[in-house]
Every structure is written in C-alpha cells, then in structure tokens.
Structure 1
C-alpha cells in the first residue's frame, strides 16, 4: 500500500492548476445513462472514484473513451442501450456515490436493482431521502438482502418533494430521475451546491427543463427523452481550497489557475482573517505568506453551501495548529469528522475534540512523524501539516487521496515541496526521538 513522505519547512512558489470537480464529475457520468447518445465531458479529473464509477457504468452497457482533447482531459460516455440494470455490492460499497445510478436506471428503463452502499467513516449518511424522493415520483421500492429493487413500469411522474433537511446526494439523485418523469416536479429545501447547478446545466444542455438549481427551490418540467452534449466539468472548489491552505501553511507564493474564486469566498475571507495575503483575478487566486509570519487563530463552523465547507474543515484545522492563540472549529454536517485530530496530535498539535467541537491551540512547531489517513479530506489535512512540520512526515493509507486529488505530489513538487510517493516495498526513514 502506497505512502507519502514529506520533508517540511520548504516554502512553495509557482502555479497549481485546479482539476475538474470530483463531486460534479461522478454525477455527470451517472447522468450520461439518461440518453442513448454520446455525452462528452471535458475538464475531467482522472481519479480512483471516476475509474470505479466507469467500471460500474460499463456493466450497464456504457462505453467510455478517455483521451486528451482540445479542451484537456475528456471522457466520452455512450450508452446506446441499457444492457443491465443491476449494480452489485462489490462495486457500490467502494463509493457511496455509486448508489446514484439507481435514479437514472429507473428513469430510463423502469426498473433497477442496486446494492445499498456500505458504511461511511465520516458519518452515517443514510439513503432514506433518496428512496423517499423516488417513491414520491411514483417508484415502487422494495429492499431485501442488502439491495434496493425499484420499479416504475409506466414511468415516473412529477411530484412536489420537500426534503426534511438539506441533502446534496438526495437532491442530485432525485433531480436525475425527475428530468424524464411525466409532468412537473418541484423540489423544496434543495441543496444549493455549485455541483448541483453544474449537473442541472448539463442536463439542460441534454434537453432537460430544469430551473432554480443553486437555490432551495428547483423546478423540473419532465421531457420524454434526452440527447447527447459536450459539457465542461466545473472546477473543483475543494481542491482549490486545499491547495490554498497548503500554500498558506508552507508559506511562499502560489497562484491557483482554472479556479472560480467565488466558490470558496468564505474560505478566502477566513484565510485573510488569519493573516494570509490573497488576491483574485479572473480564474486565478494568488496566496502569499512570509513563512516567518505568525498566523492568527480564527473560528469556523461548517455549514451547507454557501457556508464553510465540511470538506475543508480538516485542512483548515491543520493551518490553525500553527496559529497564534486558540480557535474553535465546529462541525455541523458529519458527526464523525474529527478522526484526523489524533493524527495531527502525533505531529505535536494541541487539539481537544469533544462532540462536534474542537479547540485548537496553536503551537510553535509541528514535528514529523508517521501518521495514518482515515478518509479523503483527512489525508489532505495531513499533507498540509507535513508541509510545515520539522523533519519527515510519512502518511500511510494514501489511497484515500487518490479518490479525490489528481497528481497531488506532482502539483506540490512543481512548487518546490519535498514530497514523494513511496511504494509498499520502499523503506521509511526512521526519525530520531
């Protein structure tokens, strides 16, 4: 199993191109099942999650061609016929978002058998809202032996659906099913994430009639069929925020390209409050910090978009470990998203977590150690901490990183970071106590 080794204390200087958004790309790939015509997705990230979903889509008859096109990395997905509507446990358990193939399969074929997703290390994240939304659209749902059996032989029908709480996954899932439903569907208390708007705009380019995406109320006028399209995947705001925090942690000057600053505005404001110099221009963000400059402690509370993203909480906590003073970080989205705290403590951080609140008191320095990644964002948090830690930090179980970051080591190395990937048979340098 691969590991990542870093030698900290090296300021970063250079440009980092931000990839297409993982959280948008995987939903756009699922949406390609809704048409028999080719869908060409550009600005496509090459990730473990997109490869896994591609394997699942291939089971349904989807032909996927990956290449470097005039618009960068692209994937052409073509499903002329749904040859199977069965999604087995062995594939769905590896990535929760795979469950979202249920809606497109049901909408196009009238039936589907999809495994329930496995547990999640950062919280329960049940699929109840997904299934209730599909039932409201007229689907008959049965569950047994760990599988969801969904049927709508006469097609789905429009409905008014109010989510009891904001759910990104349920909003996206129900939206993909509703575009081929008969009549009008109105979603209330819908999630407002940019990736949902990206999905809706792509569906509209395929012939759907969706309005209001990006607001709490989304209206869908059902159509009988969709056609193919070309669509650029939105930039990854979480990757952009992660590299912005990495630059602030290490110090130096880094320019992020292919990014939309408006998507991480609240993060940039918090970073300015912490003492970072940040400039935005067009699709670029420049982060500057003198490594000798002390950061200031800043409180954050995670919220649904446009609030502070839970997917940036761990990375921001890493930054705060070296800030002057004490801050409080509150997690309101996932009940188990402080698993990175013990690993940061191994590097010398002073953090006390209880329930959904963590108190971070800045220390003078972090010191390299062996640590273990517990999930995707925690992995990025440990990389950020390692960039500033004295000596060498080795991060184990970095397969999490490959799920959501494309060429992370290469992008950071290009800016001067001393970071490298260790294969399982390579020795780890032992640190002196």
Structure 2
C-alpha cells in the first residue's frame, strides 16, 4: 500500500465534501488476502455526537473521552463552535473539552454550511430552546437509505410547547412560554426521537413520560451522561422512560461506550476474507445478538477482557436474519454480514425491517459476482419474529459465489464499508470511489486496513 494520506482533515473540508455528496478518495484494492491483525475501536459515533450536543445543557465545562476522529464528530464540533461553544482537545488522546458559557444563536447559513449532509442539527433544538429560546433546522441530509422523517422529532417538540414554523430555508422553532413536561408515545422506537426527548425533557418544567422509547446501549449511555449532569431519569423494561425536569445542569466527565457498529464491521470483515481480527475495546454484553448470528454463520470468537477476537470456525453457513431495534439485530450490522454470506454454503435471507431502502448496496455485490435477489415488498415466513412493517424488504443470498474485482461507487456509510470488504474478499483488483464518506463512522480506516494487511493504493 502506498500514498497513505493523513485522515485528520479539517471540519470545513469534511462538511463541504459531504454537502456536495463527494467526500473524496478513490482506492484500488487487490483482494483475495485475509485480513489479519488487531484494530481498536473508540467511542460510538451514535453516542459521542449526542453527548457533545448535551454539553449545551450544562452551566459548566464538559469533558468527553474516547471520541472517535470521524467526520460526523467534526461536523458537530463545527456546529457547536458556530453557536459559541468553545471546543478544545483534552489532556488525553481522543478527548474533548466543551465550554458552553458563551453559547449564542447562529445564522441559518452558518448552520447549513457546517452541517453539510448531517442530520445532527435536529438534536440541537431542545438544548437551544432552553438556552436561547429559539432554534433553526436547515434542510437535513444523511445517508440515502430510505425515508428518515423528522416528524417524530417535531411532534415531540410541539408536545413540549415549541412553536414550529416551516420556512423556505428550513424550520424555525421558538418557545415563547418555555418548555414543559409531556406525555409522549413514539409510533416507533426511534433512536433519534428518543434522544430528542431526553435532551429536551431534562430541563423542561415538570415530568415527561416517554413510551415506546428506544433502549439501545448508546441511549443508556446518553442517559448516564445526563444523570452525571444532574438529570433525574428512570426507565422501565417495557420501553418507558420517565424524566423529571430540573432547573439547572452542570458539565460532565464521561468516557464513551465503544462503537458496536464498527466492532461488528471488523468481525464481518474477518468472516468474509477468512481472516483473524482482534477488535480491541469490543465488549460481549453489548454484542450478544450479533455474536449469536456470527456463530450461526460459521464464525468463531474468543472473549477477552480487552476485546474480542473474530475468525472463521469452519465453513460458512446460511442464516436467516431479521433486523430490529435493540435488543434485536441492528440494521447497521446486516450490510457487512451480507458480504460474508455470499460465501456461505446455501441460501440466507435477511429481512430489513428498520429502513425501506437499505439494500441498494447489493447492486455492486451482484456486479462482483454475488447471487443476491432483493424482494422490495419483503417475504413472509413462519419463522418470522419481528412484526412486519409496510416498508420492509428482504434479500435472498445464495452461495458460495466467487467474487471478482469491479469498479464501485460508495453510496452510503455502512454499504460503502461493505463494498470495501467485498473488494478485499474478491479476486483481482477493484476500484472503489467516494470512500471518504466511510469516514463518517470509521476512524482511521486506511491505517486500520494497512495494519490488517490489506493490499490497496489511494489513487485519487
């Protein structure tokens, strides 16, 4: 491998690239080589970015540790800075010090310029309404994996007393009478909407009862962050969360939960390439569902105190998977798993029930020789455990099929990572374009691939 560039890009460049839909980097990958070695995962993207937003709620400095060096974090850092929050590197690698004492309103053009394609500005609404009495949301982007409506967020904010005004450039919110507690039941246990309620309710007057809440480990970690700040939050096993509003919150000092998505991605890379990867920082408790499916598919793993080793335990086997909210099988885990399932002996079925357009990445796999048929209306089955949704799809993967090199354009974060792994598992050379988008969720991707013995060049 040669021409390895620095992966520490400025937030401005990252956000500009995302806004244009062209995040850069084309790599040539020569596949057929097992990935072997160790990678370490830091804090979860889905916690770190939300904990950074939570710092707006405190009246003193916050310290967040194990923050991954990814573009989504850079986007949130930029958004905080345009709102007057001072963000500096902390006293240990991967730590941030966030001081909200000079927080202020930001012009919508600044927000839009720094947000790029990120959807994170929606979560600024509650804290900014408490702090400044107003907030603005530009047109929102994110990975093109299906409809991700913000109506759950806006409906919840209205229940708290926010006034929502739609404008040509976005949505302006105000709270002329302040925010008050509310009884909210989500139509679906949305992670983003649950985060919205938590970040808004902790300083609202009165008590908030949230039903049908998401309970992902990252949500529990965010609750831990807010409790450190002085929030009063309790939850019941039936997806009900109670938040008693408080008048003031302080800063926090918190170490992020590890990134389950990245850990599972490297595990699937070991499975797909017949490799042997130790993922430092991975924890068994938060990956139980994934580990069960990994083992059923022919994978093996060794649990150690400092991480988990992933490798093949024999021939790969077909599996049936239904994605679902936690504690089910995460939707972000199915893309890299499907790459490995192209090499399983038999027919696998993956039911995607969370997003309605998350199998677009399989087109490139078919181009590389995979036998994958996508059923746009899903599939029935007596074995189904997850309630069917009108939006769901199913992918039927028949293997094993040899994969060969191809010219691929990365469409989104998780699908893009899966394309890279497919290229590493394939015979011959692949050219993978728009790889920069993968840095939204994978820290130091090129460095980690190099450490695992991947054979690739950065060519553009």
On whether the aligned pair clears a TM of 0.5, the verdict is: yes
Tell me which residue corresponds to 1:320.
341
Question: Does structure 2 retain, via aligned residues, the 8 Å contact 1:380–1:401?
Answer: yes
Tell me which residue corresponds to 1:259.
282
Tell me how far 1:95 sits from its aligned partner.
0.3
State the distance in 1 between where 2:351 and 2:413 align.
19
Question: Does structure 2 retain, via aligned residues, the 8 Å contact 1:135–1:141?
Answer: yes
Tell whether 2:406 aligns with 1:369: yes
Tell whether 2:265 aligns with 1:242: yes
Tell me how far 1:11 sits from its aligned partner.
2.0
State the distance in 2 between where 1:27 and 1:61 align.
17
Secondary structure at the aligned position of 2:48 is classed as helix
State the distance in 1 between where 2:310 and 2:235 align.
34
Tell me how far 1:174 sits from its aligned partner.
1.4
State the distance in 1 between where 2:457 and 2:310 align.
23
Tell me how far 1:263 sits from its aligned partner.
1.6
Secondary structure at the aligned position of 2:309 is classed as strand
State the distance in 2 between where 1:289 and 1:420 align.
27
Tell me which residue corresponds to 1:166.
189
Matched length: 419
Inter-CA distance 322–336: structure 2 relative to 1 (3 Å threshold): same
Secondary structure at the aligned position of 2:103 is classed as coil
Secondary structure at the aligned position of 1:117 is classed as coil
Tell me which residue corresponds to 2:415.
378
Q: Which digits, 9 at most, give the CA deviation of each residue in 1:286-329, with x for residues without a partner?
A: 11227xx5311111111011111101111111111111111111
Inter-CA distance 200–324: structure 2 relative to 1 (3 Å threshold): same
Inter-CA distance 420–212: structure 2 relative to 1 (3 Å threshold): farther
State the distance in 2 between where 1:104 and 1:296 align.
48
State the distance in 1 between where 2:237 and 2:63 align.
23
- TM-score, length basis structure 2: 0.87
State the distance in 2 between where 1:214 and 1:338 align.
32
Question: Does structure 2 retain, via aligned residues, the 8 Å contact 1:192–1:215?
Answer: no
Tell whether 2:373 aligns with 1:337: no
Question: Does structure 2 retain, via aligned residues, the 8 Å contact 1:86–1:112?
Answer: no
Larger deviation: 99-108 or 42-51? 99-108
1:310 corresponds, among 331, 335, 343, to: 331
Tell me how far 1:421 sits from its aligned partner.
3.0
Tell me which residue corresponds to 2:82.
59
Tell whether 2:433 aligns with 1:396: yes
Secondary structure at the aligned position of 1:264 is classed as helix
Tell me which residue corresponds to 1:98.
121
Secondary structure at the aligned position of 1:323 is classed as coil
2:455 corresponds, among 413, 418, 432, to: 418
Question: Does structure 2 retain, via aligned residues, the 8 Å contact 1:365–1:389?
Answer: yes
For residues 201-212 of structure 1, what are the structure 2 equivalents within 5 Å?
A: 201-212=224-235
Question: Does structure 2 retain, via aligned residues, the 8 Å contact 1:192–1:214?
Answer: no
Q: Which digits, 9 at most, give the CA deviation of each residue in 1:170-192, with x for residues without a partner?
A: 11011101100111111000011
State the distance in 2 between where 1:11 and 1:384 align.
10
Larger deviation: 409-418 or 295-304? 409-418
State the distance in 2 between where 1:153 and 1:2 align.
47
Inter-CA distance 120–376: structure 2 relative to 1 (3 Å threshold): closer
Q: Which digits, 9 at most, give the CA deviation of each residue in 1:396-432, with x for residues without a partner?
A: 111211111001221122122223433x2xxxxxxxx
Secondary structure at the aligned position of 1:271 is classed as helix
Tell me which residue corresponds to 1:431.
none
Question: Does structure 2 retain, via aligned residues, the 8 Å contact 1:108–1:180?
Answer: no
Tell me how far 1:119 sits from its aligned partner.
6.8
Tell me which residue corresponds to 2:166.
143
State the distance in 2 between where 1:180 and 1:273 align.
45
Tell me how far 1:281 sits from its aligned partner.
2.5
Tell whether 2:403 aligns with 1:347: no
Inter-CA distance 330–198: structure 2 relative to 1 (3 Å threshold): same
Q: Which runs of 5+ in 2 are unaligned?
A: 1-23, 377-392
Tell me how far 1:214 sits from its aligned partner.
7.9
Question: Does structure 1 retain, via aligned residues, the 8 Å contact 2:369–2:403?
Answer: yes
Tell me which residue corresponds to 2:251.
228
Secondary structure at the aligned position of 1:114 is classed as strand
State the distance in 2 between where 1:238 and 1:119 align.
17
State the distance in 2 between where 1:251 and 1:120 align.
29
Tell me how far 1:118 sits from its aligned partner.
3.5
For residues 11-90 of structure 1, what are the structure 2 equivalents within 5 Å?
A: 11-67=34-90, 69-70=91-92, 72-87=93-108, 88-90=111-113
Tell me how far 1:98 sits from its aligned partner.
2.3
RMSD, aligned CA: 1.7
Tell me how far 1:86 sits from its aligned partner.
4.3
State the distance in 2 between where 1:405 and 1:187 align.
32
